[in-house]
Chains A and B, each alone.
Chain A
Amino acid sequence: MCTYATMTAAIDGSAKGPNGSWFHVTNAVAYFDHPVHAMAEHTLNLDFTDPSRGPSARVALELSADSARELVAAIQAALASAPDELR
């Protein structure tokens, strides 16, 4: 199905995007829905964007549900492993 479920987050960072160029990203969108490329019916999709630069300023990920959960855990672990003074 098209799930319509869409979660957004304001982010501050950089991503390497179209044409190998780095750009500042301000928005993240997460949704569980049909992928464009991954061979699965539904995937956890992530878009990292800077809407001020237009729709093509986007880095996209399509992850299986299990691998998305592993990624969340890895991000949490990486953040937790950093010394307090660096966070």
Chain B
Amino acid sequence: MLASSGGEEIQGYLAQPHGDNARGSVVVIHHMPGYDRATKEITRRFAELGYNALCPNLYWRDAPDASPDDAAAACRAKGGVPDSRLIDDVGGAADYLRSLPTSNGKVATIGYCSGGRQSVLAACNLDIDAAVDCYGAYVTGTPRADFPIKITNLVDQLPALRAPLLGLFGNEDRYPSPAEVDELEKILQDNNKPYEFHRYDDAGHAFFAVDRPAYRVAAANDGWERIADFYRRYLAG
């Protein structure tokens, strides 16, 4: 269990490398289908890369101890994760990681799909050392007005982005579309924010998802290399 910045305790999945050397940390933000096995595998991969990694269960308050798919359904039926709660939970996860004896004090975020947007959201509101956005929709772009789940883009928050941003996108994705990625890139340039984008042909949404038809091995392998390089630069002690 980890304490959210909001004071409540929520569940998290922690993976750590062996040894007592000081190292950076990664908060892994799960996608809308939840705190699932695939996201826990990603969390373990960050430990294999040499980082303390923690995936907070963003649906814990809605459905403690439920299976990940039931919890995702329960949270969705209640309207989804409010942005303020996401910031509290990622903030709590970052604090937990910084409190570990092996922490070098540096913490990054990464998120996939809806978590990509939330990774950027966290980096606009929390002291994070690096953020990765994997194909998050509605960082820019306009959500449909009739979505029952109320979500806004992050355009007005991007000038407050506090961390370098790595963005990984598929050129066949429509959410975010290449034009929306262009818009994000222009906003970052206009605000002199450090960023690095990589866009992949023959890849659409969710190309990292090894258990889904969207998996694209070339894009995913290169993306993992880019992530490793990005964190090597920004999470070094």
Among A4, A41, A51, the residue within 8 A (CB) of B214 is: A41
Return A57 CB to nearest CB of chain B, in Å: 9
Q: Check: B206 CB closer than 8 A to any chain A CB.
A: yes
Question: Which B residues lie within 8 Å of A5 (CB)?
Answer: 144, 147-149
Interface SS of A by simple majority: loop
Q: Check: B17 CB closer than 8 A to any chain A CB.
A: no
Cα A29 to Cα B36 with chains together (Å): 21
State whether B175 touches A55 (Cβ < 8 A): no
Residues of chain B from 88 to 136 with CB closer than 8 A to chain A in the complex: 113-114, 135
Interface size on B, residues (CB 8 A): 39
User: Quick one: given A2-B113, A49-B73, are A8 and B62 in contact (CB under 8 Å)?
Assistant: no
Return B83 CB to nearest CB of chain A, in Å: 13
Among A1, A8, A36, A58, the residue within 8 A (CB) of B175 is: A1
B31: nearest chain-A partner, CB-CB: A2
User: Quick one: given A2-B32, A5-B144, are A36 and B69 in contact (CB under 8 Å)?
Assistant: yes
Q: Mark B168-188, 1 if CB is under 8 A from A, else 0.
A: 000001111000000000000
State whether B213 touches A40 (Cβ < 8 A): yes
Question: Which A residues lie within 8 Å of B76 (CB)?
Answer: 6, 29, 31, 47
Cα A54 to Cα B77 with chains together (Å): 12
Question: Which B residues lie within 8 Å of A31 (CB)?
Answer: 76
Cα A33 to Cα B73 with chains together (Å): 12
Among B70, B74, B148, B151, the residue within 8 A (CB) of A8 is: B148
State whether A6 touches B148 (Cβ < 8 A): yes
A36: nearest chain-B partner, CB-CB: B69
Q: Check: A52 CB closer than 8 A to any chain B CB.
A: no
Question: Which B residues lie within 8 Å of A51 (CB)?
Answer: 74, 77
Among B135, B138, B213, the residue within 8 A (CB) of A41 is: B213
State whether B205 touches A60 (Cβ < 8 A): no
Question: Which A residues lie within 8 Å of B63 (CB)?
Answer: 54-55
State whether B137 touches A60 (Cβ < 8 A): no
Q: Mark A36-61, 1 if CB is under 8 A from B, else 0.
A: 10011100000101010011101010
Offer 6 A-B interface pairs, CB within 8 angstroms, sorted by A: A2-B113, A5-B148, A6-B77, A34-B31, A34-B212, A36-B33
**Chain A residues in the interface with B (C-beta under 8 A):** 1-8, 27, 29, 31, 33-34, 36, 39-41, 47, 49, 51, 54-56, 58, 60
**Chain B residues in the interface with A (C-beta under 8 A):** 31-33, 36, 62-63, 66-67, 69-74, 76-77, 79-80, 113-114, 135, 137-138, 143-144, 147-149, 151, 173-176, 204-206, 212-214
Sample of 13 more A-B contacts, CB < 8 Å, known A2-B31, A29-B77: A1-B175, A4-B151, A5-B147, A5-B148, A29-B76, A31-B76, A33-B32, A34-B32, A34-B113, A41-B205, A41-B212, A54-B66, A60-B69
